[in-house]
Amino acid sequence: FVCPLSIRFTQDKIHPFFYRRGPIVNVLPKIQAISGARGDDAIDLVPPFAPIHCLRKDDEVWSMDNRRLYALQLAAMDLWPRRCRVRCLSRERLPRHKFKTQYRKFNTTSEGLSIDVCTRYQQFDICCWRERVIEIGCYSLSQLLGTLLYFFEIAPLLGALLFQSG
């Protein structure tokens, strides 16, 4: 089991449709989140498709199924900041009979940290979960600061009212 946010993409672009399954976003509601399945606080994501195939290189995990990984990362981001994990099949190197077809997938220029969801003539999405985490964190921080500033606006009024009634 691996956190889907720690797995890297091997390509820069993916097509927005699964073969025979339709759009990737239509699969998201079918990904089940099961909490506490292994006795800890991590959430197991159970997708409607087979586990993703990965390659381990040192401490990094690289996905051979980029569309599946994209769907799992979107599902994990919906549950952020709770930790998620997925089942994956990992190897240290490519099998000899798949080397020629799979090696061509390693053409990322972003070190596997982001992916473009596009067709030949249309851009759908640019996904980088790290940027989304920053957006969520900034939004939470701005809500907290707004509440704090609201309190500082109201405190003098309450003080004046208490002083006059007092």
Give per-residue pLDDT as tens, 87-135: 988 877 766 656 555 656 666 777 777 888 877 776 666 666 777 777 7
Q: Are 64 and 45 in contact (CB under 8 A)?
A: no
- The structure tokens 């995990």 sit at 61
Q: Are 98 and 43 in contact (CB under 8 A)?
A: no
Per-range mean pLDDT, top range of 38-47, 48-57, 87-96? 48-57
Nearest alpha-carbon partner for 4 in 88, 73, 60, 53: 73
Instruction: Report the pLDDT value the prediction gives residue 15, as an integer from 0 to 100.
Output: 82
Mean of pLDDT over the chain: 79
Separation CA 16–CA 3 (nearest Å) = 22
Residue 82: is its pLDDT beyond 70?
Answer: yes
Q: Are 31 and 47 in contact (CB under 8 A)?
A: yes
Separation CA 57–CA 42 (nearest Å) = 24
Instruction: Report the pLDDT value the prediction gives residue 37, as an integer from 0 to 100.
Output: 62
* Residues 6 or more apart whose Cβ sits within 8 Å of residue 163: none
> Taking the CB of residue 9, how many other CB atoms lie within 10 A of it?
26
Instruction: Report the pLDDT value the prediction gives residue 38, as an integer from 0 to 100.
Output: 64
Instruction: Report the pLDDT value the prediction gives residue 127, as an integer from 0 to 100.
Output: 67
> Taking the CB of residue 4, how many other CB atoms lie within 10 A of it?
25
Tell which wins on pLDDT, 101 or 60: 60
Separation CA 162–CA 166 (nearest Å) = 6
Instruction: Report the pLDDT value the prediction gives residue 103, as an integer from 0 to 100.
Output: 59
Tell which wins on pLDDT, 123 or 34: 34
Strands 17-18 and 84-85: unpaired
Instruction: Report the pLDDT value the prediction gives residue 79, as an integer from 0 to 100.
Output: 85
